[in-house]
Amino acid sequence: MASHRGVIWLRKLGNKDYIIISLALLLLIIILTTFDSSSPPIQSTTPNPPLGKLSLLRNAKSLGAVCLDGSPPGYHFRKGFGSGSRNWLLHIEGGGWCNSIKSCSLRQLTALGSSNFMEHEVPFSGILSEDALQNPDFFNWNKVKIRYCDGASLSGNAESEFHNGTKLFFRGRVIWKAIIDEIMSKGLGTSKQALLSGCSAGGLATLIHCDDFREILPKNVDVKCLADASFFLDESDISGNYTMRSFYRDVVHLQCFFPQEILKNTKTPIFLVNPAYDFWQIQNILSPDASDLYQSWQHCKRNIKNCNPNQLDILHGFRSSLLKAVNEFLNNKDGGVFINSCFIHCQTFMASTWHSPNSPRVNNKTIAEAVGDWYFNRKAVKEIDCPYPCNPTCHNMDFS
Ligand SMILES: *[C@@H]1O[C@H](CO)[C@@H](O)[C@H](O)[C@H]1NC(C)=O
Ligand SMILES: *[C@@H]1O[C@H](CO)[C@@H](O)[C@H](O)[C@H]1NC(C)=O
Ligand SMILES: *[C@@H]1O[C@H](CO)[C@@H](O)[C@H](O)[C@H]1NC(C)=O
């Protein structure tokens, strides 16, 4: 099964080896999951955030920049104002990956694979908010929310479509380029400051395309990247299984699969926001259902409060692996980190976790304040929380 999937991906993805490799392994790592469960059901605390209208990419078909099902990709735009009118913030939507013809075909029937299913308007909150109280540093910037419909963090690059009953298109890189070109003509091309951001699979896309985004913009533009909940670890699961890794060792070189490796090769300043107890990673990398033979993790992975002391030890071990993985990055003087000990996933696009009176803090700083301090060089930001359950400001998820 794994080799079948691997062959498909190797045939379909483009020629930037490290990208293919990083995705392919990531996809394998989550092979036990068909869909990401990564849209945390958190509502913005603001009752009526402004809405951004969906624009479909012009000339998508002739450019070959299409979603999994061949429909045009899209984005939502809200114009900046005042002192922010020449600054641009892009946010790439997340939503897991599809890792087989079957799961990608299913995805064609959702907004993550087809613009036919996308909402025509989406709320702009958290980092996309226009309210200075909710978004102190970026509220008046131009904002673009890029929809994610290629199933592979905007990095597939197959020329021809996969054809087997239904057609499937893997055109992530072409989508990325075409959307950036269109936004360039809307004003991004004459920006003064720019921030590329994204969460989960969209955060991985942010890391993958960060230097490319830097290259596209004129030299005098301040360009930085913010990756939220996308530091996926190369860890064994609770059964100690390294199945996917050993499979892939035969196919490609292991060195450059993971965000950790992408970071080493990226020159543009990056900020990582990541919970140390990322529920998505706990549910899908650390204790996937197939490895939890006796179902002993079911309660714990739905609510961290239900974890027994043994399980907590394992979770603390996962946190240690994360800290070890970012250790080298902490020496990067242009980089920033905010790692809070919360049981959550994305935290930047909801007001409740980005910046509000009761949003999570580390050293009394919200995520918005930390990112602002880093972006505007007000001070170095390397915020690392003490282990769970020391932080009472967390918004821990409860799936039970
Ligand atoms: C192509 O479709 C057939 C029948 O639907 C299926 O048995 C086969 O596995 C598919 N091939 C691939 C590579 O998905
Ligand atoms: C570990 O990997 C093997 C394949 O090498 C697989 O057959 C087995 O089901 C896996 N075990 C668990 C507990 O997931
Ligand atoms: C934490 O920050 C808030 C403002 O964001 C401030 O009012 C409060 O006094 C600070 N608390 C401490 C303990 O420094």
What the chain holds in terms of domains, given with CATH numbers, is 34-384 (3.40.50)
- Mean pLDDT throughout 390-399? 98
Cα separation of 64 and 72, whole Å?
9
- Mean pLDDT throughout 209-224? 97
Q: What is the pLDDT of residues 130-148, one digit of tens each?
A: 999 999 999 999 999 999 9
With 50 as the cut, is the pLDDT of residue 39 above it?
no
Whether this prediction's pTM lies above 0.95 is answered by no
Contact 247, 9 (CB under 8 A): no
* CA neighbor of 12 nearest in space, from 109, 114, 97: 97
Give the Å distance between the CA of 163 and the centre of ligand 1.
10
Cα separation of 375 and 383, whole Å?
14
Ligand 2 pocket, 320 CB below 6 A? no
Of the bound ligands, which one is closest to the alpha carbon of residue 355? 3
What's the pLDDT score for residue 245? 54
Contact 205, 73 (CB under 8 A): no
Cα separation of 197 and 145, whole Å?
9
What's the pLDDT score for residue 57? 98
Reported confidence tier of residue 119, pLDDT bands at 50, 70, 90? very high
What's the pLDDT score for residue 118? 98
State the average pLDDT for the chain. Answer: 86
* CA neighbor of 54 nearest in space, from 72, 32, 68, 36: 72
Torsion from C-alpha of 270, 273, 278, 281, nearest 10 degrees: -10
- Mean pLDDT throughout 174-194? 97
* CA neighbor of 337 nearest in space, from 394, 381, 369: 381
Q: What is the pLDDT of residues 272-304, one digit of tens each?
A: 999 999 999 999 889 988 889 999 999 999 999
Is the C-alpha dihedral spanning 299, 302, 305, 309 positive or negative? positive
What's the pLDDT score for residue 20? 42
CA distances to 19, 27, 29, 394 from 250, rounded to whole Å, are: 17, 16, 15, 41
Is 278 designated active site?
yes
Q: How many CB atoms lie within 10 A of CB 266?
A: 21
Q: What is the pLDDT of residues 71-108, one digit of tens each?
A: 999 999 999 999 999 999 999 999 988 877 788 899 99
User: Who's near 252: CB < 8 A, 6+ residues apart?
Assistant: 17, 20, 21, 24, 25
Burial label, 26 (beta-carbon count in 10 A; 0-12, 13-18, 19+): buried
| Residue type present at position 59 | N
Q: Which residue's CA is the nearest one to ligand 1's atom 2? A: 164
What's the pLDDT score for residue 96? 87
What's the pLDDT score for residue 203? 96
Structure tokens at 162: 């996969």
Indicate the SS3 state at residue 331: helix
Is 200 designated active site?
yes
Q: Which atom of ligand 2 is nearest to the CA of 293?
A: 13
What's the pLDDT score for residue 242? 58
What's the pLDDT score for residue 27? 42
Is 197 designated active site?
no
What's the pLDDT score for residue 12? 39
Residue 19 vs residue 51, higher pLDDT: 51
Of the bound ligands, which one is closest to the alpha carbon of residue 365? 3
Structure tokens at 28: 């394998």
Reported confidence tier of residue 165, pLDDT bands at 50, 70, 90? confident
Cα separation of 29 and 25, whole Å?
6
Residue 27 vs residue 199, higher pLDDT: 199
Structure tokens at 341: 């000990």
| pLDDT cut 90: percent of the chain above it | 71
With 60 as the cut, is the pLDDT of residue 356 above it?
yes
Supply φ then ψ for residue 312, to 5 degrees: -60, -40
Cα separation of 347 and 368, whole Å?
10
What's the pLDDT score for residue 34? 35
DSSP state of 300: H
Choosing from 76, 209, 345, 395, which is the catalytic residue?
345
Ligand 2 pocket, 241 CB below 6 A? yes
